[in-house]
Amino acid sequence: MQTKPFRIGTRGSPLALAQAHETRARLMAAHGLPEEMFEVVVLSTKGDRITDRSLALIGGKGLFTEEIEAQLSSGDLDFAVHSSKDMPTRLPDGLHLSAFLPREDVRDAFIGRAVPRLLDLPEGATVGSASLRRQALIRRLRPDLNVIVFRGQVDTRLAKLASGEADATLLAYAGLKRLGKLDVPTEILDPAVFPPAPAQGAICIESRIGDARTGDLLAAIDDAATRAAVACERGFLAALDGSCRTPIAGHATVAGGELSFRGMILTPDGSQCHEIETTGRAAEAAALGEAAGRAIREKAGPGFFESWA
Ligand SMILES: NCc1[nH]cc(CCC(=O)O)c1CC(=O)O
């Protein structure tokens, strides 16, 4: 192995940095390399700079990755660490997701200021979330609640909650765990009732196709089960793309080469929802997810997507 350090691209949020540092630690352990062999390069993305608007309205996916991908493509970075959930379904030519860390908890955490559980909130209480999926699922379970847009980094959202801008918020349990905020959630939501976003809780690494030095480095920490589960969930998302303002949930689990997937689409007001379940071989993960996406589209009918667009 050459002695030139690997340049790791990441966003600068505390969560992004925690993920980059976890990846570096795993690579150091897997290869017996010193920390000096890795240089963490912090980049600001459009998604970090625009904090006052709903991301779905300003273009959705790609906002957190464009600047980083440009530097990967040009060779300024060797690889980048991302939340798989934030990755567009299509990557720029020449780049691929070359490794996945073992998945963290996929569930959503509920954080109530005065009451611990979502179903205990008083009628008309305010819940802050920027996620279309969380907003729709909340409305489905509790049509009486007042859902408001809550954006920004985890600490920003928790500060908004503490200052009384909302009575409750929801965040990925995985992110809170990575930040060491284990005592923040007041309820962990059951994925059967509150299914996670496709790829939630999974850290991925993006790099150049054909970069053998980086490829060899990353192969040692790749988790096959996470890779298959995320491939299926991203396949589901890809088959539903073009409807990026649709609330979408999807979760795959893999055991012994067999994959089980459950997906859901909702109207933003939560009044309509369709579900799909499928099982198959983990080796066909992406195709299984895509087929599930086409099938749920069929089930919902064209009127479903046109009803609020
Ligand atoms: N877009 C924000 C984002 N992207 C990934 C995570 C959490 C970590 C993960 O899902 O791996 C979060 C924050 C949240 O949803 O609370």
What are the tens digits of pLDDT across the range 239-269?
A: 997 566 899 999 999 999 999 999 999 999 9
Note the pLDDT of residue 56.
62
Task: State the average pLDDT for the chain.
Answer: 94
Note the pLDDT of residue 165.
96
Note the pLDDT of residue 2.
54
Q: Which long-range contacts (CB under 8 A, 24 or more apart) does 178-181 make?
A: 178/15, 178/18, 178/19, 178/22, 178/104, 179/14, 179/15, 179/18, 179/154, 181/154
Counted domains in the chain: 3
Rounded CA separation 51/110 (Å): 22
Predicted TM-score (pTM) of the model is 0.94
Q: Can you give the residue range of the structural domain that contains 262?
A: 223-309
**Residue 58 scores a pLDDT above 70:** no
Rounded CA separation 251/280 (Å): 14
Testing ligand 1's pocket by substitution, the residue of 19, 177, 200 carrying the most ligand atoms inside 8 A of its CB is 200
Testing ligand 1's pocket by substitution, the residue of 83, 86, 154 carrying the most ligand atoms inside 8 A of its CB is 83
32 within domain boundaries: yes
Question: Residues 48, 52, 86, 222: which is the catalytic one?
Answer: 86
Residue 171 Cα: closest atom of ligand 1? 16
**pLDDT category, 53, cuts 50, 70, 90?**
low
**pLDDT category, 59, cuts 50, 70, 90?**
low
Residues touching ligand 1 (Cβ under 6 Å) are 83, 85-86, 171-172, 174-175, 200-201
The pLDDT tens digits for 81-117 are 999 999 999 999 999 999 999 999 999 999 999 999 9
Predicted ipTM beyond 0.90: yes
Q: How far is CA 38 from the centre of its chain?
A: 25
Q: By C-alpha distance, which of 144, 141, 100 is closest to 122?
A: 144
Rounded CA separation 45/66 (Å): 7
Is the same domain home to 12 and 159? no
Note the pLDDT of residue 242.
58
Note the pLDDT of residue 55.
63
The pLDDT tens digits for 219-247 are 999 999 999 999 999 999 999 975 668 99
Is the same domain home to 98 and 123? no
**Residue 210 scores a pLDDT above 60:** yes
Contact 167, 127 (CB under 8 A): yes
Q: How far is CA 121 from CA 158, 167, 195, 206, in A?
A: 18, 8, 20, 41
Note the pLDDT of residue 302.
84
193 within domain boundaries: no
Question: What CATH number should be reported for the domain holding residue 179?
Answer: 3.40.190.10
Is the same domain home to 29 and 76? yes
Could you tell me what percent of the chain has a pLDDT over 70? 94
**Residue 54 scores a pLDDT above 80:** no
User: Locate tokens 């996916």: which residue?
Assistant: 61
194 within domain boundaries: no
Is residue 261 classed as helix, strand or coil in its secondary structure? strand
- How does 21-60 read in b/e, with b if 16+ C-beta sit within 10 Å? bebbebbeeeeebeeebbebeebebebbeeeeeebbeeee
| Higher local confidence (pLDDT), 251 or 306 | 251
86 included as an active-site residue: yes
**Nearest-CA residue for atom 1 of ligand 1:** 86
Is the same domain home to 218 and 236? no
Is the same domain home to 179 and 246? no
The pLDDT tens digits for 130-176 are 999 999 999 999 999 999 999 888 999 999 999 999 999 999 999 99
| Higher local confidence (pLDDT), 58 or 5 | 5
Q: Which long-range contacts (CB under 8 A, 24 or more apart) does 276-282 make?
A: 281/257, 282/224, 282/225, 282/228, 282/254, 282/257, 282/258
275 within domain boundaries: yes
